[in-house]
Amino acid sequence: MVFFVTRNTMATAVTQAKKVASLTGGGSLWWVGGQDWDARDWHGFQIEGTTYGAYLIESQGDCVLIDTVKASFADELLDRVRSVVKLEDVSRLLVLHSEPDHTSGVNHVLEHLPNAKVTCGKKTRQLMQAQYSLDRECQILEHDDTLTVGNATLKFGKVPMLHWPDSSYAYLMEDKVLFSNDAFGQHFCGDYPFCDQHDRSHVSREMNSYAANILTPFTGEKGTMNKGLTRVLATTGGEISTICPSHGVMFRTPEDVQMALERYTSYANQTQIRPKVLVLYDSMYGHTVTIARAIEEGVYSTGAEVKLMHTRHTATEAFDSACVAIGSPTLNMTVMPSVHSTLGYLKGLELLKNKPVAAFGCYGWSINNIKEMHKLLGDAKGEVLEDLAVKQLWAASGDTLASARDLGIELGKRALSKCKKE
């Protein structure tokens, strides 16, 4: 007989809290969240596991739990808390964000924390009540309010629409620890809790993926990410020893904290965009791929970076691309389903907004593929280069491939020029 055991079921047997730091005034800070080794789909994009960050501050006999977890990991959280303190010693549950991946386990957790008063912002209270009919005394916090935990002091801050209406953060003042909630997060699940214990390039890629697929609509000069970073820096005075997000690894070295801050400043100001052209396609019999490769050749000849890929899992690549070309044959008088869904996904994330975008593709019975892509690209607020569209009845060759290379050259030049100006 053979037994198959997933990492997630094995992990439930190892539910010790993970120490983050010893506190200046005595006591300790612990990571007590959940490890979801098996998570693969997240709001429409693919991940390879994640964590649900929750933290316990224990100081001079007082204990505060910061955030909970997804419902299926509530017992794991309780076991971790129980490994360092008695559950009845937890006096507060500070909730920074009401999204279900952090709060769907809240009622189960509170059943086992008989003395914990819920503490949160007004909007968080409203959203938790709407989702879970929360039945527990609640203290409402305003921006810059403080909480005392033994010899430690927490300052509370609000960052609405980063990325929910109730998003907030907390700052452990004496030890300069930032509990950033979803900001600085990554969908990353590993055996060790800190960035410096992993390949930093992998953590960096996961930060990019998280920001591209979740936070892009809130970037830009007037976006809520910029406003949120300004608030966080005002609260902390720029003095941050450790960043504790609600997904992924923590940042505890000066180099890693600086990297995380610089990365998010770049996201907020959209300066992560490089002289890069993204060429996306789907195809039935390979004809549209032929055009895509000719466009790739044209871009390459300009010295700009080029990425050629199928239309699946594209947000992270679009995130730092200056220009995008997308191709599809006609199928049932429209575009391929993957192209339609990809453009809808990129539209929602505003990843094509104000970027030069072009369409290409082969067709048999109808040229509706180009018309439909132009409409979808326009709906996504791209700068649609309609006159440069490359289209071909049946298989592409000769002049059509020359036009595709010319399109690639034009997009490469525009990508280089755009990034040079910025």
- pLDDT category, 13, cuts 50, 70, 90? very low
Asked if 198 and 168 sit in the same domain, the reply is: yes
- 152-158 and 146-149 as β-strands: parallel, antiparallel, unpaired? antiparallel
Give mean pLDDT, residues 213-239: 92
Domain CATH for 319: 3.40.50.360
**Residue 56 sits in a domain of what CATH number?**
3.60.15.10
Q: How far is 422 from 273, CA to CA, in rounded Å?
A: 9
100-117 per-position pLDDT tens digit: 999 999 999 999 999 999
H or E element that contains 315: helix 315-319
Q: pLDDT tens-digit profile of 115-131?
A: 999 999 999 999 999 99
Residue 122 shares a structural domain with residue 248: yes
For 78, the enclosing helix (H) or strand (E) is helix 74-82
User: Domain range for residue 330?
Assistant: 275-417
Query: Which of 71, 131, 81, 127 minimizes the C-alpha distance to 102?
Result: 71
Judge if 289 and 325 occupy the same domain: yes
Which of 220, 246, 269 marks a domain boundary? 269
DSSP helix, strand, coil percent of the chain (3-state; round to 5): 40, 25, 35
Residue 1 lies in a domain: no
* Last residue within a domain, chosen from 216, 239, 269: 269
Same domain, yes or no: 244 and 302:
no
Q: How far apart are CA 291 and CA 395, in angstroms?
A: 9
141 and 48 inside one domain: yes
User: Are 153 and 245 found together in one domain?
Assistant: yes
Mean residue pLDDT across the chain = 92
Q: Please determine, for residue 12, whether its predicted confidence score (pLDDT) is greater than 70.
A: no
24's CB contacts (< 8 A; 6+ apart) are: 151, 152, 174, 175
Domain co-membership, 230 together with 328 = no
Q: What is the pLDDT of residues 317-337, one digit of tens each?
A: 999 999 999 999 999 999 999
Q: Are 122 and 251 within one domain?
A: yes
User: In this structure, which long-range contacts are made by residues 364-368, counting pairs with CB atoms below 8 Å and at least 24 apart in sequence?
Assistant: 364/329, 364/330, 364/393, 364/394, 365/330, 366/330, 366/333, 367/330, 367/391, 368/330, 368/333, 368/334
Query: What does the pLDDT read at residue 14?
Result: 57
Alpha-carbon distance of 55 to 66, in angstroms, equals 5
183's tokens: 């900001």
**288 shares a domain with 265:** no
Flag whether 51 is in a domain. yes
Structural domain count of the chain: 2
Same domain, 259 and 289: no
Report helix, strand or coil for 352.
Answer: coil
Choose the final residue of a domain: 251, 269, 287. Answer: 269
For residues 333 and 209, membership in a common domain is answered with no
pLDDT of residue 320: 95
pLDDT at residue 200 in the model: 93
Q: Which residue has the higher pLDDT, 389 or 364?
A: 389
Residues of the chain above pLDDT 90, percent: 86
Based on the fold, state whether residues 109 and 172 are members of the same structural domain. Answer: yes
